[in-house]
């Protein structure tokens, strides 16, 4: 199986948040997001270009008004399609909201191989909301079968910065 294009995965695994002030912030809305690859490709992902950005990524965040501490992120368009193919879903459920912070971990379900190495990639997103603007990071950490041929994938994390905005509320 061929290595994945990580800029697209990262472009998808980014998310958002909204204003706060005690309790869970109201993150609901459609966000236009940009993700930028970190300057180090620790995991040696193919097609990861240090410092490269992907723009105009649409993410919809919803919350149950009876429990604002739980959110769901839905990625649409080509990014959503790509996430379905690579990660296994374009809907990131179970995001936790505390104050102006949103955090979610998505366990990858799509397996990739590299010789005797077999792995999936987990994503961990942390976002802070200020007004209608979000900023944060997405970490991508491979979960391997532990085979020595996995090399760097056995103990690495690649990071992207995330920034975006939604229309004013």
pLDDT in tens, the chain (169 residues): 444 444 444 444 443 333 334 589 999 999 999 989 998 999 998 888 999 998 999 999 999 889 999 999 998 877 778 778 777 888 989 999 999 999 999 999 999 999 999 999 998 989 999 999 999 998 989 999 999 999 999 999 999 999 999 998 7
- The helix/strand/coil state of 100 is coil
Q: What pLDDT score does 154 carry?
A: 95
| Residue 150 CB neighbours (<10 A) | 20
Domain ranges of the chain: 6-165
Query: What pTM, to 2 d.p., does this model score?
Result: 0.82
Do the strands 112-114 and 133-144 form a parallel or antiparallel pair, or are they unpaired? Answer: unpaired
Rg (CA), the chain: 16
Contacts of residue 146, defined as CB under 8 A and 6 or more positions apart, other chains included, come to 154
Kindly report, residue by residue over 136-166, the tens digit of the pLDDT: 998 989 999 999 999 999 999 999 999 999 9
Q: In the 8-state DSSP scheme, what is residue 21?
A: S
CA 13 to chain CA mean position, Å: 2
114 phi, psi to nearest 5 deg: -150, 90
């Amino acid at each position: 199986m061929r290595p994945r294009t990580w800029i697209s995965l990262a472009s998808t695994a980014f998310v958002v948040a909204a204003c706060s002030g005690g309790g869970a912030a109201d993150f609901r809305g459609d966000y236009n997001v940009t993700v930028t690859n970190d300057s180090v490709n620790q995991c040696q992902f193919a097609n990861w270009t240090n410092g490269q950005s992907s723009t105009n990524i649409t993410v919809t965040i919803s919350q149950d008004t009876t429990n604002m501490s739980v959110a769901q992120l839905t990625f649409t368009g080509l990014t959503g399609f790509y996430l379905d193919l690579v990660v296994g879903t374009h809907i990131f459920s179970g995001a936790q909201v505390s104050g102006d912070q949103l955090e979610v971990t998505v366990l990858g379900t799509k397996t990739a191989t590299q010789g005797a190495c077999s792995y999936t990639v987990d994503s961990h997103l942390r976002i802070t909301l200020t007004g209608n603007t979000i900023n944060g990071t997405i970490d991508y950490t491979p979960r391997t079968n532990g085979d020595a041929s996995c090399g760097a994938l056995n103990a690495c994390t690649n990071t992207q910065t995330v920034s975006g905005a939604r229309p004013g509320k």
